[in-house]
Amino acid sequence: MLPGYYVHLEAFPLTPSAKVDHKALPEPEFKGNDEYVAPETKEEKLLCEIWSKVLGIEKIGITDNFFSIGGDSIKSIQVSSKMRIEGYNVSVRDIFTYKTIEALAPNLEEIKTIANQSLVTGEVPLTGIQQWFFSSSMRSKHHFNQSVMLNFPERVTEEQIRRIFTHIHTHHDALRMTYRWDEGKVIQQNHDLSYPLSLVVNDLRGNPASKEELLKLCNELQASIDLEMGPLMKLGLFDMQDGTRLLIVIHHLVIDGISWRILFDDVEMLYAQEKSGEELQLPLKTDSFQLWSSKLLDYRSSKSYQEAIEYWNKILDKEQVIFKKNYSEDQNTTHDTSRAGFRLSKSTTDKLLGEVHEAFNTQINDILLAGLLMSVNKYFGSGALQIHLEGHGREQIIEDIDIGRTIGWFTSLYPVVLEESGEELSELIKSVKESLRNIPNNGIDYLIGRYLFSDIKPVNNSQVIFNYLGQFDSDTMERAFEIASEPTGDAIMRGDYREYELEFVGMVSEGRLGMNVTYNIKQYNEEVVNALMSLYQESLVELVDYCVNREAQELTPSDFSYKGLTLGQLDELKNKLMNDEY
């Protein structure tokens, strides 16, 4: 654990028995978060500029805590990537360790080596998440996409889009993947530049049914991907009355949430170069998806992996909350789904992204999952809640590998067991926080051990999956494009099997947290789901207000460098200190 503040003393005050007199220690004097401290050095100015762009905050001081002004693990990856473009090697771990620019700037290191920039071709080992996908019950594996519709108000031409995406298609090797089945085994193949770029163009100006026609064309694109034939990225350019829409459909096997942010940056950069007549050029590539997946095979022999496997094989045996279904339908398909949700106010969202975490040194998932556990226990009864949690999966488990600007499906997916440990909100928050911190390597080992090597024993699947996608406002601010309001069509085939009964997805847009749950109407009725989500919203607001109004910060075992300390042991130590028995 790193101290938040340092106080210089000539000597420690002592009690008559020669122990440290804690009551006589002076209180630290520090500048409050509302006092702006300007950057002075070149490194501080660069960090302030990049933090400002990533977080969407105009003025950032060097004493501002990254995680108290809206930063999270996804934003830290973006900072790391942008710093690398500027020639500095800043890891996500660095940002979690040195939470202010004042602390981080002196620890910056210039990049000494660069990744191999040559074209990537050949066979690529499947990763854990890819193996999970191919072993799933999904019938139409070809139709499992992610998609975004961009709106260019100033219009963009077919020639411009072809040049921009030909460059992207060349630079990001994973976008040239295909998959074939060979004697029951899936072969992932990275192709050369003969692999085609797919772009369809339609002029819908003057069409009185342009919205309906646009949706029809979007659905056609969504359903057109073939894993064996490729390409796995399909583009649709649509001229509308009020601008140009660009639909980007990419099969999930080669894209994830971080990859979309990389793609947004690249489209913006290349579009600006295209408009000014410059040569199209992107920052240097980071290590390839092929290299990453190959190194995972060697990772099995590491001490880190072995300790993680031991953890996973003993943690998943607690009695769980049962989500009582209203109907007995066994089949769970996308055809029978509905959605319920809520949006927090901008004021509550601002607190959730910032000052709420000062009370217990939390991160946003700690509070979101504490609220979910709180609401589920109120509605369905007390007990442990097992959910599957999605993470970005770009963990630093392999030395000398940098995938900060690499497009691909790196997602981690792992079970989490959450349970309340008392009646106080503080006990709930600390319990959830410690449950998440105790997970080795942020859960990346689970799919590796379960699907790559079969080192983890099979367990009953959770009914619930949770995924916080982060903040997208700052990712599309001040760009030549914006996220379009029109629907993008069916990313997954209608009527296909779903892996989970309840899918919780949260995202911050327009400055407000939106939380939605997708459920099967033949298993749960609307009143039950709406009541659960109403409780969830109330629980989040209650937790936010509780943390913001709490005066003193309380640390938990994971805040200390000593491993193996429990919440109970830490409470005992605190009581001893308060009674001057230490």
Residue of higher predicted confidence among 12 and 558? 558
For 100-122, the pLDDT digits (tens) are 999 999 989 888 888 999 999 99
pLDDT at 457 over 70: yes
pLDDT at 581 over 60: no
pLDDT at 22 over 70: no
459 — pLDDT class (breaks 50, 70, 90):
confident
The structure tokens 């630079």 sit at 171
Q: Give the span between the Cα atoms of 520 and 335, in whole angstroms.
A: 9
For 188-213, the pLDDT digits (tens) are 999 999 999 999 999 999 898 899 99
pLDDT at 176 over 80: yes
What residue spans of 277-358 are helical by DSSP H? Answer: 289-299, 303-315, 346-353
Q: What is the mean pLDDT of residues 240-252?
A: 96
pLDDT of residue 542: 97
Q: Give the span between the Cα atoms of 395 and 405, in whole angstroms.
A: 14
Lowest mean pLDDT among 10-24, 173-187, 253-267, 313-327: 10-24
pLDDT of residue 323: 79
Average pLDDT of the chain to the nearest whole number: 89
Residue of higher predicted confidence among 423 and 397? 397
pLDDT of residue 29: 45
17 — pLDDT class (breaks 50, 70, 90):
low
Closest CA to 278 of 287, 269, 286, 291: 269
User: Which contiguous run of DSSP H or E holds residue 178?
Assistant: strand 177-182
Sheet containing 122-124: give its strands across: 122-124, 185-190, 177-182
Taken in order of first residue, the domains within the chain and their CATH numbers are 31-110 (1.10.1200.10), 122-289 (3.30.559.10), 307-392+409-472+500-551 (3.30.559.30)
pLDDT of residue 532: 96
pLDDT of residue 350: 93
27 — pLDDT class (breaks 50, 70, 90):
low
1 — pLDDT class (breaks 50, 70, 90):
very low
* Sequence-ordered list of residues with C-beta below 8 angstroms from that of 18, at least 6 positions apart, any chain: none
pLDDT at 93 over 90: no
Using only the alpha carbons of the chain, give its radius of gyration: 25
Q: Give the span between the Cα atoms of 330 and 361, in whole angstroms.
A: 42
Q: Are 179 and 227 in contact (CB under 8 A)?
A: yes
Q: Give the span between the Cα atoms of 371 and 425, in whole angstroms.
A: 10
Amino acid at residue number 182: D
| Sign for the pseudo-dihedral over CA of 394, 395, 396, 398 | negative
Cis (ω within 30 of 0) for the bond into 231? yes
Closest CA to 558 of 429, 393, 449: 429
Q: By three-state DSSP, how is residue 470 classified?
A: strand
pLDDT of residue 550: 92
For 331-360, the pLDDT digits (tens) are 889 989 999 999 999 999 999 999 999 999
For 63-87, the pLDDT digits (tens) are 998 888 888 888 888 898 888 888 8
Q: What is the mean pLDDT of residues 407-412?
A: 97
Q: Are 289 and 345 in contact (CB under 8 A)?
A: no
Q: What is the mean pLDDT of residues 234-250?
A: 96
Q: Give the span between the Cα atoms of 336 and 498, in whole angstroms.
A: 10
Q: What is the pTM of this model?
A: 0.84
Residue of higher predicted confidence among 341 and 581? 341
% residues pLDDT > 70 (the chain): 90
